[in-house]
Amino acid sequence: MFKISIPKKTFKLLIAAVVIALIILASYFRIFETFELATLDLRFKHRPPQRLTDKVVIIEIAQDTLDQIGEWPIDRAFYASLIDILKAHGAKAVVFDVLFSQPAPSDNALIDSAKKSNITYMAKAFRMFKTDRKGGFPVEEADEDEPPIGPFPALRDACRGVGHINVTTDIDGKRRRVPLFIDYKGELIPQLSFLTLCDYLGIPLSDIKVERSRYIQMRPDLRIPIDYYGKTLINFAGRWGQVVPHYSFIEILKSYVALQKGRDPSLDLNQLRGKICLVGLTAVATHDLNPIPLQERYPMIGLHANLLNTILTKSFIVRASESANIMILILLSALVALVVLRFRPAIGTLSAAGISFAFMLTAFIIFGYFGIWVDLFYPLLVIFGVYIFCTFCRYIAERNKRLLVEKELDIAKRIQRSFLKEDPPQIPGLDIAVAMTPARAVGGDLYDFIEIEKNLLGIMVGDVSGKGMPAALFMAKAISDFRFHAKTEKEPVKVVTELNDQISVESSSGLFVTLSYMMVDMDSKKLKIVDAGHLPVIYAGADKETSLITSTSGMAVGIMDGVEFGESEVSMVPGDVFVLYTDGVTEARNTRKEEFGEDRLKEVVTRYKGLDAKGITAKLYDELKHFTGKAPQHDDITIAVVKVSSTT
């Protein structure tokens, strides 16, 4: 059985390629179209006022008309009268968004008026399904087995033109597009308003040129953008009543009667001269109310008005192509990835948010002022996804770095510990204990015990300036150099002097070390202390008051060479306790920012000086812990306790 082994790097590249391909395909096939349409509606609602034509009016069959004429459908004689009135007052076209599918008693009057006027247009509707015609112009095709609903033959022949009123319903149930042509049994049926406009502009349908999936060329200066199936987006210029003037069907009839009787009409019918008059049902709770981007219940006669307004004002909406949206998606994703991965997290987050906001603002502006519709929802979704992914990758990378640093620090900690003697030497007559707790993984505190001769012991406690790794490295050098000089020189002052000269000359780090070096001579029962800028040694005598031993002169080691150091000498008796420590003890703070201090340290040493060295050390740590409470440790802590044994 064969096993296919794919290198880890290659596998990751394959996964990345698959993910990128899926993201691009989701954009190309517009998987999130419902959400994208919601962002389009927001752009419709939040844009500057649109240009409006003065060549179109709506004549409403509203509730006032139904109340005065009768219930729907109204007698067709009224339609005949309307045609006659509009023709008489110079209307350019009378367009009925009404399906006169069945004969009625007063059809003769309607037929006669339509024929005489030669400006009447009627509607018909088809049952549709999508198809891609082989060759030529792909359009929506009507079901050939289902005849259209529209004017019966005699009325159809009397009209100047008959066009379809089919409207595309988008996936979210709203109406935004209309097919300008429908294929029915091989014949291209124009949309009703489009047909009317062609006649109004004097453009024969045969002269119209079609560029597949791009535009319909009506004349050199008038090009209508279309999609693959010949549909155009309607630029809804406003809510109902905001686009073109509205007139009441019944008021037009009544105004004409008033003129005939010599009375003042309620409407000036001359306002209809030269207009395309759209006639349709707008009464509340009728079947002809549907959702559009600007409102949920919109009379479909308004759709014709908006389509005419879109074409006459050339206020077209053009959707960016799939490839253009993909390029925008790739550019935005790369830009967000760059800022998130390159800059600090806070700046990266603000930059990603700024890119998202700038893109969103740009999408609104170019839609509002130029009618260009670029995808908004999916790019914002991908931007968020890229931000999360890049942030996660950065977190993983930082985590791995931190783990590596922690591993290195752990090694450094063990190496540093190896420099320090965990178990003090066993010298007859002396009880010694030491404890050190770094503030970080590694620290700058140091201590050492040097057995010079059988009863001669050197004890050093020091503190490197700074913290962390630099201090730990400097500490390693300091303790190594100290051991060399302490083993070759018995006098404490000379040890510290030579150590200072060497470090001052050799080190260029800018760091220095303070230290106390104490040499205990068990033969003479004498103790010598050299203070190099360090804290005083606490001396708790067996029968004396606790005091501080400090030198009157002494500078930190490593600042400059040629420094002279002073020395203090103390006679020892059994029970005497000497405590060396670093400033991490006296400067330890509690949650109220209070310091532990030398006085409190002296008091604790005095209280527990009867214990052995380990006991005193443990009590000091307990008191420190109790004092600081939950406050964090901000400096290294080192304590060395030397007690003269009573068996001496």
Q: What is the pLDDT of residues 228-237, one digit of tens each?
A: 888 999 999 9
With respect to residue 225, please indicate whether it lies within any of the assigned structural domains. yes
Pick from 214, 48, 23: nearest CA to 137:
214
The verdict on 308 and 341 lying in the same domain is: no
The verdict on 196 and 147 lying in the same domain is: yes
- Cα(533)–Cα(568) distance, rounded to whole angstroms? 14
The verdict on 238 and 92 lying in the same domain is: yes
Strand order in the sheet with 168-169: 168-169, 175-179, 231-233
The verdict on 208 and 270 lying in the same domain is: yes
- Quote the longest CA-to-CA distance of the chain: 144
Pick from 266, 72, 128, 278: nearest CA to 193:
278
Instruction: Judge whether 74 and 280 are in contact, CB under 8 Å.
Output: no
Give residue 332's identity as a one-letter amino acid code: L
- The structure tokens listed for 111 are 């037929």
pLDDT value at position 647? 57
- Cα(540)–Cα(647) distance, rounded to whole angstroms? 18
pLDDT band at 138 (very low <50, low <70, confident <90, very high): low
**Mean pLDDT for the stretch of residues 365-378:** 97
- Cα(237)–Cα(549) distance, rounded to whole angstroms? 92
The verdict on 42 and 64 lying in the same domain is: no
**Domain boundary residue, one of 275, 295, 314:** 314
Number of domains in the chain: 3
In Å, what is the CA distance from 189 to each residue of 70, 141, 186?
34, 10, 9
pLDDT band at 590 (very low <50, low <70, confident <90, very high): very high
Q: Is 350 helix (H, G, I), strand (E, B) or coil?
A: helix
- Cα(148)–Cα(138) distance, rounded to whole angstroms? 20
Count CA atoms within 13 Å of residue 89 on its CB side. Answer: 22
Asked if pLDDT for residue 222 goes beyond 70, the answer is yes
**Domain boundary residue, one of 314, 342, 366:** 314
The verdict on 210 and 333 lying in the same domain is: no
In Å, what is the CA distance from 633 to each residue of 435, 584, 628?
15, 8, 8
pLDDT value at position 342? 92
Asked if pLDDT for residue 4 goes beyond 70, the answer is no
The verdict on 303 and 347 lying in the same domain is: no
**Mean pLDDT for the stretch of residues 482-494:** 91
The verdict on 508 and 429 lying in the same domain is: yes
- Cα(182)–Cα(186) distance, rounded to whole angstroms? 9
- Cα(38)–Cα(36) distance, rounded to whole angstroms? 5
Over pLDDT 70: what percentage of the chain?
95
pLDDT value at position 646? 66
Q: Is 336 helix (H, G, I), strand (E, B) or coil?
A: helix
With respect to residue 32, please indicate whether it lies within any of the assigned structural domains. yes
Q: Is 590 helix (H, G, I), strand (E, B) or coil?
A: coil
With respect to residue 38, please indicate whether it lies within any of the assigned structural domains. yes
Pick from 98, 83, 92, 86: nearest CA to 54:
92
pLDDT value at position 80? 97
Asked if pLDDT for residue 220 goes beyond 90, the answer is yes
User: How is residue 241 annotated by DSSP?
Assistant: T
Instruction: Judge whether 485 and 495 are in contact, CB under 8 Å.
Output: yes
**Domain boundary residue, one of 263, 284, 314:** 314
**Mean pLDDT for the stretch of residues 208-213:** 88
With respect to residue 18, please indicate whether it lies within any of the assigned structural domains. no
* Burial readout 448-476 (b: 16 or more C-beta within 10 A, e: otherwise): bbbebeeebbbbbbbbbbbbbbbbbbbbb
Query: Could you tell me the residue range of the domain that residue 244 belongs to?
Result: 51-314
Q: Is 545 helix (H, G, I), strand (E, B) or coil?
A: coil
Name the percent of the chain in helix, strand, coil, to the closest 5.
40, 25, 35
pLDDT value at position 648? 45
With respect to residue 14, please indicate whether it lies within any of the assigned structural domains. no
pLDDT value at position 132? 52
With respect to residue 406, please indicate whether it lies within any of the assigned structural domains. no
pLDDT value at position 467? 75
Can you give the pTM of this predicted structure?
Answer: 0.72
Q: Where are the alpha helices (DSSP H) in 421-559?
A: 468-488, 492-506
- The structure tokens listed for 160 are 């100047």
With respect to residue 385, please indicate whether it lies within any of the assigned structural domains. yes
Asked if pLDDT for residue 44 goes beyond 90, the answer is yes
The verdict on 435 and 329 lying in the same domain is: no
The verdict on 353 and 265 lying in the same domain is: no
With respect to residue 613, please indicate whether it lies within any of the assigned structural domains. yes
Kindly give, in sequence order, each residue whose CB lies less than 8 Å from that of residue 101, ignoring residues fewer than 6 positions away. 149, 150, 151, 152
The verdict on 573 and 459 lying in the same domain is: yes
pLDDT band at 339 (very low <50, low <70, confident <90, very high): very high
- Cα(321)–Cα(228) distance, rounded to whole angstroms? 11
The verdict on 505 and 634 lying in the same domain is: yes
Q: Which of 70-79, 259-268, 280-289, 596-605 has the lowest mean pLDDT?
A: 280-289
Partners of 121 in beta bridges: 95, 161
Q: Where are the alpha helices (DSSP H) in 89-228?
A: 107-117, 153-158, 192-201
- Cα(357)–Cα(364) distance, rounded to whole angstroms? 11
pLDDT band at 130 (very low <50, low <70, confident <90, very high): low
Strands 456-464 and 445-453: antiparallel
Q: What is the mean pLDDT of the chain?
A: 90
- Cα(178)–Cα(369) distance, rounded to whole angstroms? 22
**Mean pLDDT for the stretch of residues 94-102:** 93
Q: What is the phi-psi region of residue 125: left when phi exceeds 0, alpha when psi lies from -120 to 50, beta otherwise?
A: beta
pLDDT band at 286 (very low <50, low <70, confident <90, very high): low
